[in-house]
Amino acid sequence: MQDFKLIQVKEGILAENDRQAEAIRERLRRAGTLLVNLMASPGSGKTSLILKTVQALGADCRTGVIEADIDSSLDAQQVASAGIRVAQLQTGGLCHLDASMVDQGLEALGEQDLDLIFLENVGNLVCPAEFDTGAHLNVMILSVPEGDDKPLKYPLMFRSCRALVVNKTDYLELAEFDLELLRQRIEKLNPDMGTFPVSCRTGEGVEAWTAWLKGQVRALKE
Amino acid sequence: MQDFKLIQVKEGILAENDRQAEAIRERLRRAGTLLVNLMASPGSGKTSLILKTVQALGADCRTGVIEADIDSSLDAQQVASAGIRVAQLQTGGLCHLDASMVDQGLEALGEQDLDLIFLENVGNLVCPAEFDTGAHLNVMILSVPEGDDKPLKYPLMFRSCRALVVNKTDYLELAEFDLELLRQRIEKLNPDMGTFPVSCRTGEGVEAWTAWLKGQVRALKE
């Protein structure tokens, strides 16, 4: 009985969420604004990647950021300090973002006159993958110290994303992380996923990642 | 309306879960078996810590392990290879463990003749903290590369645990991790939390952590 009730509620919520997500995606597509949903474990470098990427994209790509945190606004403060337009969503304990929260974030941010909006999801490799946020692109960050076995343990997250940024490549040796083995594991789950090894600390790999992202911004406007 | 329905279901489930958790805790207490719920982000070293700890505890502390994974049994295979009694729970996408899953795990493991059972929760700093698993002790692992700001971002997890193992201390310098600053942040959230810096790779700190845990096993039997 209990399981049955739960599933009914969940399915209803997911259907409503999917409708709202589709509306966000279509509205932003018409406006030529690419919404990128960035998902990762805690401490993998989501905010660092956003800061590095906005800097590398430069002024010709007008970028805004929606930060989601459970209970703080540290990341939004950091992004604002870098002179980037930002809105903070506090989920009040919720472990993921859904489309209605994103709608609130977009309203707070102001979605006009932007080419690209980053949505920094809650630090979690499980729940965020289950909810459509309305983003055009899901991107995952895996940080090297987390290990190259993560595709085996969190397959839904790897299947849900178009691109993977492997951050903290300056730890590759210390962490005994096998990038080739990771690629083989991803190949089995999601052969279309692009992989971008990056170190936000040293800047290594940021250019290739940013070039790909610029291509995605352009493609949406065509 | 949607929020109201959700809350009703959630509260009912939580109340039933709390009853089941209390029953597990009391049953194991009478048997003199300490149940430790280990929570952490993906890739923080939960399985490594279990392997190191069981080795350090030695044969006079009879230890079993319940592994929870979303979709694999890699960790259980690793634990079994080390000659440790282990059961695997697959959550099928669920982001946390609850008491009824733990009951199934205990049945699969066999809870007789054990002094200590580790419950390796799903890799997630959010949802697992909300559910009572029936454990006598909640222990959190924070790995150094995740950063010293995590108490500010995941306060419920830090409040829910009696002890914190700071793993991967061999990364302290590279990660510019400030252990003293972390301690100050924890002091504000949960002044009773014990902190144990450990490197599962080098073995540094494992002795102090294990000595504390042995004390907890003894205390339950008194």
Per residue in A3-45, pLDDT (tens digit) is 444 445 566 778 899 999 999 999 999 999 999 999 999 999 9
Each residue's pLDDT tens digit, A114-159: 999 999 999 999 999 999 999 999 999 999 999 999 999 999 999 9
pLDDT at residue A198 above 60? yes
Segment B191-199 mean pLDDT: 97
pLDDT for the residue numbered A6: 47
pLDDT at residue B221 above 90? yes
pLDDT for the residue numbered A10: 60
Each residue's pLDDT tens digit, B31-49: 999 999 999 999 999 999 9
Each residue's pLDDT tens digit, A149-177: 999 999 999 999 999 999 999 999 999 99
Each residue's pLDDT tens digit, A64-75: 999 998 878 889
* B219 at interface of A, judged by CB pairs closer than 8 A: no
Q: What are phi and psi of B211, to 5 degrees?
A: -60, -40
pLDDT band at A216 (very low <50, low <70, confident <90, very high): very high
Neighbouring C-beta atoms of residue B211, cutoff 10 Å = 12
pTM of the predicted structure, to 2 decimals: 0.90
Residue ranges in chain A assigned as alpha helix (H)? 2-31, 46-57, 74-81, 99-109, 150-153, 155-160, 179-189, 206-221
pLDDT for the residue numbered B91: 86
ipTM of this predicted complex? 0.86
pLDDT at residue B9 above 70? no
pLDDT band at A94 (very low <50, low <70, confident <90, very high): confident
For A5, which residue in chain B has the nearest alpha carbon? Answer: B9
For B68, which residue in chain A has the nearest alpha carbon? Answer: A153
Q: Do B9 and A12 touch (CB under 8 A)?
A: no
For B13, which residue in chain A has the nearest alpha carbon? Answer: A2
pLDDT at residue B13 above 80? no
Segment B137-142 mean pLDDT: 98
Q: Do B150 and A42 touch (CB under 8 A)?
A: yes
pLDDT at residue B215 above 50? yes
pLDDT at residue B62 above 80? yes
Shortest Cα–Cα distance, B31 to chain A (Å): 31
Q: CA–CA separation, A54 vs A47, rounded Å?
A: 11
> In DSSP terms, which residues pair with A87 in a beta bridge?
A66
* B69 at interface of A, judged by CB pairs closer than 8 A: yes
Does the domain made of A2-221 have the CATH classification 3.40.50.300? yes
pLDDT for the residue numbered B8: 52
> Which residues numbered 84-123 in A keep a CB inside 8 Å of some CB on B?
93, 95, 122-123
pLDDT for the residue numbered A165: 98
pLDDT for the residue numbered A144: 97
* A127 at interface of B, judged by CB pairs closer than 8 A: yes
pLDDT at residue B6 above 60? no
* A58 at interface of B, judged by CB pairs closer than 8 A: no
**CA distance readout (Å), A150 to A155, A159, B88:** 8, 12, 18
pLDDT for the residue numbered A9: 57
More confident residue, A208 or B2: A208
pLDDT band at B3 (very low <50, low <70, confident <90, very high): very low
pLDDT at residue B1 above 80? no
The domain locations on chain A are 2-221
Segment B151-156 mean pLDDT: 94
Sheet containing B137-143: give its strands across: B85-90, B63-69, B116-120, B34-40, B137-143, B163-167, B194-197
Q: CA–CA separation, B202 vs B137, rounded Å?
A: 26
pLDDT at residue A192 above 50? yes
Q: CA–CA separation, A51 vs A94, rounded Å?
A: 25
Neighbouring C-beta atoms of residue B214, cutoff 10 Å = 18
pLDDT for the residue numbered B202: 96
Q: Which of A219, A176, A177 is nearest to A197 (CA)?
A: A177
Each residue's pLDDT tens digit, B161-178: 999 999 999 999 999 999
Each residue's pLDDT tens digit, B83-112: 999 999 988 888 899 999 999 999 999 999
Residue count of chain B, please give it.
222
Cα A16 to chain centroid distance, Å, stands at: 22
CB A9 within 8 A of CB B4: no
Would you say the C-alpha torsion B159, B160, B161, B166 has a positive or negative sign?
negative
pLDDT for the residue numbered A92: 82
pLDDT for the residue numbered A19: 96
Q: DSSP string covering chain B, please?
A: -HHHHHHHHHHHHHHHHHHHHHHHHHHHHHHT-EEEEEEE-TTS-HHHHHHHHHHHH-TTS-EEEEEEESS--HHHHHHHHTT-EEEEEE-TT-SS--HHHHHHHHHHH--TT-SEEEEE--S-SSGGGGS--S-SEEEEEEEGGG-TTHHHH-HHHHHH-SEEEEE-GGGTTTTT--HHHHHHHHHHH-TT-EEEE--TTT-TTHHHHHHHHHHHHHHHH-
Number of A:B CB contacts under 8 A?
A: 120
Sheet containing A116-120: give its strands across: A85-90, A63-69, A116-120, A34-40, A137-143, A163-167, A194-197
pLDDT at residue A57 above 80? yes
